[in-house]
Structure 1
Amino acid sequence: MVQNHTRRRALTLIGTAGGVALAGCMGGDGNGDDDSSDDSGNGMGADDGTDDSESDDDMDTSMSNVRVAHLSPDAPDVDVYVDGDAVLEDVPYRAVSDYLELESGTYAVMITAAGDADTVVYDEDLEVAEGSFTIAALGELADENRPFEPAVLEDDVSDPGDDARVRLVHASPDAPAVDVTVGDGETVLFEDAAFGDAAETEVPGGEYTLEVRPATETNDGDVVATFDVAPEGGSVYSAFAVGYLKPGSAPADEAFDLEVVVDA
């Protein structure tokens, strides 16, 4: 049986202050006004043609907010390149960057060991739609339990009203599917969350002790870890379950833990 871990998690954003250096940013070129002026000369007899073309130009450029979460316990600090440009440098394990604003579209994303562009751990094209997203580096380079593979998670940062919205992301390579309960199992917040899964719930603001259990049909498995959290109403959070249940026999000595960040 794994010994219980109890942690107090301050719900604070981990961004540039947490060691993630923003090396650049990308966005539109700001030439929308010129494009709309050119289009306005091509009126086809419709009323308010100039206004319509300007509106169409604005609608054609959809934007995305994208951040990176380093959740691979045996991977080194990394640099992240987008279309050949370094946008994040020296990203350590468990860090979650601030959001970068991008135009929606397809980008060549490459992840390398920090300061070593020849050691490439990921090099693929990723399509980014309009909205807010987290590119989460999951799994292990050693591929002992789970293969290394970034996952694109859509972030619901809409207003949750008076409640707090909490998303659980299972990123622990050696942990089974889990149930998360509170109140000695009386209330089930998440059930049967497997590695790579992301699930959301909304709760009133307040203090909670989260109980992590191996998933069972009755949600009453033995508690393997507990974490104290205090979400505030009107806020949105992501809780990343990271590390190993058995770090002594894992590729990296990173114990099972919960990394909580503020999304909105």
Structure 2
Amino acid sequence: MSRNQTRRRVLTIVGGTGVAMVAGCLGGDDSSDEMGDDDEDEMDDGAGEEMDHGTDNEEEMDEEPAEIRVAHLSPDAPNVDVYVDDEPVLEDVPFRAVSDYLELDPGTYGVMITAAGDPDTVVFDEELEVMEGAVTVAAIGELAEANQPFEVTVLEDDLSDPGEMARVRLVHASPDAPAVDVTVGDGETVLFEDAAFGDAAAVEVEPGNYALEVRPATENNDGDVVATFDVSLEAGTVYSAFAVGYLDPDAAPADEPFDLEVVSDAHGDD
């Protein structure tokens, strides 16, 4: 099965790339069902104005919020703190961590990422414009740039209900790993092929238990298996599988072995 490329830029960034998160909430008031004659007269007198105002509210309600989460996938980067408009929104985020989704209104935000507990050590400080939709903002690569340069990339997340199937997205974030094929059943079924560093691709499969076989990409998808990961996938659930760490940690800037971090992005009944 060929890759379905989903690594698409959905944040317009002023001067660079980055991370943004702000929590939001909604509230409402209940109104009384009782109405007197005076109230009815007032309602009739201002009907046109109220209707126009209601149209504006409907337009505002049609605008979807942005859902954003952060993934720390850079193996040699320290734990980090994340600030939005100078306010801390995430603290002491370690390597391999993937945050929950946070909602915010579309708009422009100042974003700063620093070493955890050390606001003077800034690894990113930019402004970015956040658009509607769900995205994962991922720090990938290495500060040492031994294999891949450090960067922040934005991945569009498809959180739609896969129905009776399960949807799995592979994100290749292992700096020293080549392009890979991912198979199951001793190579009989190819889930992903020729996925290079920084790529993201999704596939829908029957729910169940799988042993994912990671192989260097070859024309016939028959490279030697370098790692196997057991995963259990449920119907109606969306997952992301982040390939992280090093195939050869002894020769790497950080002693972080190759692994597959699988997280649940959404359930059909959410």
Query: Please, what TM-score do these two structures have when normalized by structure 1?
Result: 0.81
Q: Which piece of structure 1 moves more, 118-127 or 138-147? A: 118-127
Which residue, 110, 113, 116 being the options, matches 2:112?
A: 110
Counterpart for residue 146 of structure 1: 148
Q: Given residue 207 of structure 2, which amino acid in structure 1 is its aligned partner? A: G
CA distance in 1, matches of 2:241, 2:87: 29
Structure 1 residue 124 displacement after superposition? 2.3
Structure 1 residue 47 displacement after superposition? 11
CA distance in 2, matches of 1:127, 1:248: 40
CA distance in 1, matches of 2:198, 2:128: 18
CA distance in 2, matches of 1:50, 1:203: 47
Q: Given residue 92 of structure 1, which amino acid in structure 2 is its aligned partner? A: P
Which residue, 78, 85, 106 being the options, matches 1:76?
A: 78
Counterpart for residue 56 of structure 1: 59
Q: Which protein is bigger by CA-based radius of gyration?
A: 2
Q: Which piece of structure 1 moves more, 99-108 or 109-118? A: 99-108
8 Å Cα contact 2:66/2:134 also seen in 1: yes
Identity of aligned residues (%): 71
The correspondence of residues 162-173 of structure 1 with structure 2, limited to 5 A, is 162-173=164-175
Structure 1 residue 48 displacement after superposition? 3.9
8 Å Cα contact 1:181/1:188 also seen in 2: yes
The correspondence of residues 185-196 of structure 1 with structure 2, limited to 5 A, is 185-196=187-198
1:30 to 1:233, Cα distance in 2 relative to 1, 3 A: closer
CA distance in 2, matches of 1:47, 1:73: 56
Segments of structure 1 that go 5 or more residues without pairing to the other structure are 1-23, 32-42
CA RMSD of aligned residues (A): 2.1
Counterpart for residue 258 of structure 1: 260
1:228-256: CA deviation from partner (whole Å, max 9, x where unpaired) = 11111111100000000010000000000
Segments of structure 2 that go 5 or more residues without pairing to the other structure are 1-20, 29-45
CA distance in 1, matches of 2:109, 2:54: 31
1:184-218: CA deviation from partner (whole Å, max 9, x where unpaired) = 11100001111011100000111111010111111
Counterpart for residue 67 of structure 2: 65
Q: What SS does structure 2 have at the residue aligned with 1:230? A: strand
Aligned residues: 228
Query: Please, what TM-score do these two structures have when normalized by structure 2?
Result: 0.79
The correspondence of residues 127-142 of structure 1 with structure 2, limited to 5 A, is 127-142=129-144
Counterpart for residue 235 of structure 2: 233
8 Å Cα contact 1:28/1:103 also seen in 2: no
Q: What SS does structure 2 have at the residue aligned with 1:196? A: coil
8 Å Cα contact 2:93/2:116 also seen in 1: yes
Structure 1 residue 107 displacement after superposition? 2.1
CA distance in 2, matches of 1:262, 1:97: 11
